[in-house]
Amino acid sequence: MKLIVLISMFLALLGCGDGGANKIKYGTYTDKRDGYTYKTVKIGEQIWLAENLRYLPSLNGVKNSHEEPQYYVYDYTGSDILEAKKSKYYRTFGALYNWPAATTACPSGWHFPDSAEWAELEEYVGNETAGKQLKSIVGWKHNNFYDVTSGFAALPSGYFYSGSFDEALKSGYWWSATESEAAYAYSRQMFYHAHLYLNLDRKNSGFSVRCVQDE
């Protein structure tokens, strides 16, 4: 609980900053669908949301599907959107999406990044230590690697799979738009190492989403 509070305080401070001495190029974007204002950050030639996506049009408890869009809030098993949005996990980590939901979740003017766009981000911040560069300075339960030079502020939002939630405060998973076959797509993962991992996961998994601004 204390760690969740610290993360929330950090995000509030992040929202008030202007980039400071690190010259991180922050901005803001307000999603007209729900009125939420996101921090944004320019990294190389890309502009990313500097927070996990929070768009939450529906909830179906812990229903699984690799074909129908499904939305989740970590550790919440009900269907009341307003109640779910009061959760400390939603307020800190945003929503989780299966892959079909992720493909249409980004707002107008933004898009769901594919593997090539994730690779561009990884290369810009430093390949072998990309995870270190992209993590938030607070929030990771086991984290000896962080370096707030990118402003991406990745948090360990955990995942949903097969009816269960796991690994919040330990790992973060983010979908990419690149699929492999009918039931699988590529994702990116960070945990206590300094790397940004490339995984192939089942589309019925619930992961976080970051959006990239259209060119």
Q: How far apart are CA 70 and CA 40, in angstroms?
A: 25
- Six token digits for residue 197: 């991992």
Q: How far apart are CA 211 and CA 9, in angstroms?
A: 23
Contact 112, 102 (CB under 8 A): yes
Q: 80-134: per-residue pLDDT in tens?
A: 999 999 999 999 999 999 999 999 999 999 999 999 999 999 999 988 889 989 9
pTM confidence score:
0.89
Q: 48-61: per-residue pLDDT in tens?
A: 999 999 999 999 89
DSSP, res 128: G
